[in-house]
Structures are given as C-alpha cells and as structure tokens.
Amino acid sequence: MKKLIAGNWKMNGSLQANAALMYALLLDASDWACDVAVCVPPTYLSQVQGLVHGSRLDLGAQDVSEHEAGAFTGEVSAGMLKDFGVRYCIVGHSERRHYHQESDATVALKAQRALAAGITPIVCVGETLAQREAGLTEEVVKRQLAAVVHTNGHCISEIVLAYEPVWAIGTGKTASPQEAQQVHHVLRTQLQAASQHADRVRILYGGSMNASNAAALLAQPDIDGGLIGGAALKAPDFLSIVAAAR
C-alpha cells in the first residue's frame, strides 16, 4: 500500500513562511514514492490551494465542524473545506480532545461529516502517559476507534487512522518501532473485525517522528505513514521523512 506522509502545521505559519516552505517542498515532488499532504490552518487554505494546484501535494485541514451548517460561530463546515480543494481533514487530534473537550462521539460525527463531503478524515487516537503507565493503552485506543466505527459503519475503510501517543507529541519521545507496531496491530485487527476492506486503511504513526527515526518506524508492517508536527515546518526535515517512506 502506498504510504502517506501528512504534515500537521498546527497553529503555525504566515503567508510568507508558507510560501517559502511550499516552494521548497514542491521543488522535490518529482522524487516522491508516497502520497504527501499538508494540513494547514483554515485561514491559509486558499493560499495553499493555489500553491499545490496541479502538483502531487494534497491539501488538508486540521479540524471540521460536526454540524452541516448554521448558527455555529467560528466553525468551519466540511462543505466549506471541500470548496477549497481539501482532500484530508484531521479529526480528533489529542490537542482538540484535550483543549476543546472533544468526546469520542463528537470525533466520530466529525469523521462522518468529512466522509459525506468526500473528504478523507485522518482520525487520531492515542493514550496519555498516565493511561500507558496504568496499562490502559489498548483499551483507550480501541474505545476511541470503536466510536468512529459505530458511527461510520461500512465507510470505515475510507478513513485514514493515526496512532498518536499523547506522551510522544512534541516531546521528542517517540514510541519505539515495536511499541508503535504493537498498537497499530491492535487497531488493524479491530478494523478487520469491522470491515472486509480494512487492509486498505492506512494507519499513520504520529509523535516526534523525525528524519532519524522515520525509516525504522515506517518499516513496521502495520505503519503506513506518518502524521508529522514540528518536523513538518522545516522543509529539509519533512522531505527526509517523505524520502524514508517507500
């Protein structure tokens, strides 16, 4: 299966910085063996849509409203994202779950909205350090995925899943390739029970993935790509991860 490397810019960027980063990424695009996307803040969708037009880079968003339209001040709908050529949308990132109290049910609805608009949701799951230390990792990620499976039924094979252990995000601490593979395998098995097309779901790893640890993580049988935070903001770092995804 073709791997996917997606950058999550989080709340970073400016018109000027984005243009420079995109220029450097696009210069390299002819060498890519995997799919590549950048998930940008909503204010920059229009700018980055223009820059990726006709290229191999896909555009992504970082969140979507669980509602279709209406009186939801500040929210952005899946239809609006689609208007700007968005191909992927992260849902349920741990920062949204933590700072915005997004529940498993809300995340599942967001995935449903994205799918209905023809956008591939990148559904994030992952345990906190306390949950890992309490031996709850599998239980937590299974519960998070179960909500998305429950709401999305047979469409589940259309999602991208991302395992992002919260303790590895922005900390420089990565799950070892074996630790990550173990959880990816649990998630794969759960998907297989829900859909006969589960083997085509890409399961990305996210959490301090960088130029030096990417190859070992991506060599694991159930790791089908990466969701990259900090290292996605520097073209050479992001491009070395892309180069490791063959």
Decide if residue 206 touches ligand 13P (CB under 6 A). Answer: yes
Stretch that binds ligand 13P, among 48-56, 70-78, 145-153, 223-231 (CB under 6 A): 223-231
Distance CA 29, CA 26 (A): 5
Q: Which of 147, 178, 177, 179 is nearest to 161 (CA)?
A: 147
Decide if residue 40 touches ligand 13P (CB under 6 A). Answer: no
Contact residues for 219 (Cβ-Cβ < 8 A; gap 6+):
177
The DSSP secondary-structure symbol of 232 reads G
- Judged by CB under 6 A, which of 50, 118, 153, 170 binds ligand 13P? 170
Site for ligand 13P in 96-155 (CB under 6 A): none
Beta strands in 67-195 (DSSP E): 88-91, 120-125, 160-163
Closer to ligand 13P by Cβ: residue 52 or 217:
217
Site for ligand 13P in 9-28 (CB under 6 A): none
Decide if residue 213 touches ligand 13P (CB under 6 A). Answer: no
Q: What is the contact mask toward ligand 13P in residues 79 to 98, using x (rule: CB under 6 A)?
A: --------------x-----
Structure tokens at 168: 């590895």
Phi and psi torsions of 3, nearest 5°: -75, 160
Tell me how far, at minimum, the Cβ of 56 lies from ligand 13P, in Å: 21
Widest Cα–Cα separation across the chain: 48
Sites of contact with ligand 13P (CB under 6 A) = 8, 93, 164, 169-170, 206-209, 227-231
